Chains A and B, each alone.
Chain A
Amino acid sequence: MTIVHTIQGNRILVAIHGDLDLTTAAPLREALDELLDRYREKALVLDLSEVEFIDSSGLGVILGRYRRMGNRTLSLVGVRPSVKAVLELAGITAIISVTDAVKPAVKDQHV
């Protein structure tokens, strides 16, 4: 897993590449907490467009950050269908803003 963060105005945009599971939960938690501590007023946006898999270990990191952030906003963007199914089952979509991944553009078809 790799993460790339960008500061855009009043938000921290974090692009995550890789699976979110037991292996990656701890390093992701540490990295996000470091960013949240460094930029104490900013909202957090997690870009999951390069995340193909998530289980309850990954969900725990997201929900833990949500609880930790208090009044600050956490949102998830670029969420793939397989990841969204897990988020929905856990009820996360009811409390955190989730934006679906953009579907690939349909190429022009010439008959």
Chain B
Amino acid sequence: MQMRFLSVPDNVGLARVAIAALAAQAPFSLSDIDEIKVAVSEAVSNAIIHGYKGKPDGWVELTGTLDKLGLTIVIEDFGVGIADIEQARQPSFSSDPERMGLGFVFMESFMHGLHVESTVGKGTRVEMQRFATIQGELSRDAQ
């Protein structure tokens, strides 16, 4: 699934709904999907607030890929980029006192892998993975 949308706040909800619909095709629980939605919401919000500094005319690209292991999500913007990724990923690092600086913390906590690439002046690419949980029971003969 691929989407491209403008950097306006209303599209944060659009991205959440789209990724939830995709995740529902895999063996994720409702609780899993809730957590995936939070991670996507944070990444898209970061793109709008930090990548484009709130300007509504930037493009954000969202890609979701389902495979045997689960769901891989890529969120990319073409904005200002992040000068120091390690610092940005620290809890409570935020340029806005009303924000908690927890965006990357939520992404890391709710997903099973987070990779961030960024080039100042060119943009930021966030890749996240969430593994599906498959439960089952082996019969005695199969053990």
Question: A interface vs B, CB < 8 Å?
Answer: 19, 21-23, 25, 29, 53, 55-57, 59-61, 63-64, 81-82, 85-86, 89-90
Residues of B within 8 A of A56 (CB): 42, 45, 99-103, 106
Q: Is the CB of A55 within 8 A of B98?
A: no
Which 7 interchain pairs have the tightest Cβ spacing?
Answer: A82-B34, A23-B9, A55-B41, A22-B9, A56-B102, A22-B45, A60-B99
Shortest beta-carbon distance from B126 to chain A in Å = 15
Shortest beta-carbon distance from B20 to chain A in Å = 10
Q: 23 A-B contacts, Cβ less than 8 Å apart?
A: A21-B12, A21-B41, A22-B9, A22-B49, A23-B12, A23-B13, A53-B34, A53-B37, A55-B38, A55-B42, A55-B45, A56-B42, A56-B45, A56-B100, A56-B106, A57-B99, A59-B102, A60-B98, A60-B99, A64-B98, A81-B31, A82-B34, A89-B109
Does B141 sit within 8 A of A, measured CB to CB?
A: no
Q: What is the CA–CA distance of A55 and B99 in the complex, to the nearest angstrom?
A: 11
**Also in contact, A86 and B38, with CB within 8 A (given A23-B10, A56-B103, A61-B98):** yes
Question: B interface vs A, CB < 8 Å?
Answer: 9-10, 12-13, 16, 31, 34-35, 37-38, 41-42, 45, 48-49, 96-103, 105-106, 109
Q: What is the CA–CA distance of A64 and B96 in the complex, to the nearest angstrom?
A: 11
Considering only CB atoms, which chain A residue lies closest to B44 in the complex?
A22
Residues of A within 8 A of B9 (CB): 21-23
Q: Is the CB of B45 within 8 A of A21?
A: yes
- B100 touches which of A23, A53, A63, A81 (Cβ 8 Å): A63
